[in-house]
Amino acid sequence: MDYETYRKSNFTDPQPAPQFEFTGTFGVTLHYEEFEQADRMQAAFIAAGGEGPEPMDTLMYEPVRYCPVRDPFGTDLLIISPTGAS
């Protein structure tokens, strides 16, 4: 099968308009096994010029440490780890 036949059988022409408009950066999620590592990573980003609230414990199907931070370049990070509490 040549490319033109493949394209005609697998793609619409013209392309439909996108259903959703995405703009900006969506950020990064980092997962650590130990909540102390998550706390240290958030503190390191803040020490480097980032900003974020104090780490907090919350429930996401299980108890987790939630450490949101925005790095010095403006990228949002969510640093999470299990708390070990049941």
Domain ranges of the chain: 25-86
pLDDT at res. 18:
78
| 3-class secondary structure, 79 | strand
CA distances for 73 relative to 32, 46, 52, 58, 68, angstroms: 22, 12, 13, 27, 15
Distance of CA 54 to the CA centre of its chain: 18
* The CATH number of domain 25-86, selected from 3.40.50.12280, 3.10.180.10, 3.90.1170.50, 3.30.300.30: 3.10.180.10
CA distances for 65 relative to 2, 31, 60, 68, angstroms: 53, 10, 10, 10
pLDDT at res. 25:
61
- The 10 Å Cβ neighbour count of residue 10 is 7
pLDDT at res. 16:
80
| pLDDT tens for each residue of the chain, 86 residues long | 888 888 888 887 787 887 777 666 678 999 999 989 999 999 999 999 999 999 999 998 899 999 999 999 988 999 999 987 65
- The pTM assigned to this predicted structure is 0.66
pLDDT at res. 80:
94
**In this structure, which amino acid lies at residue 58?**
T
pLDDT at res. 86:
55
pLDDT at res. 11:
82
Distance in angstroms (rounded) separating the CA atoms of residues 42 and 79 = 7
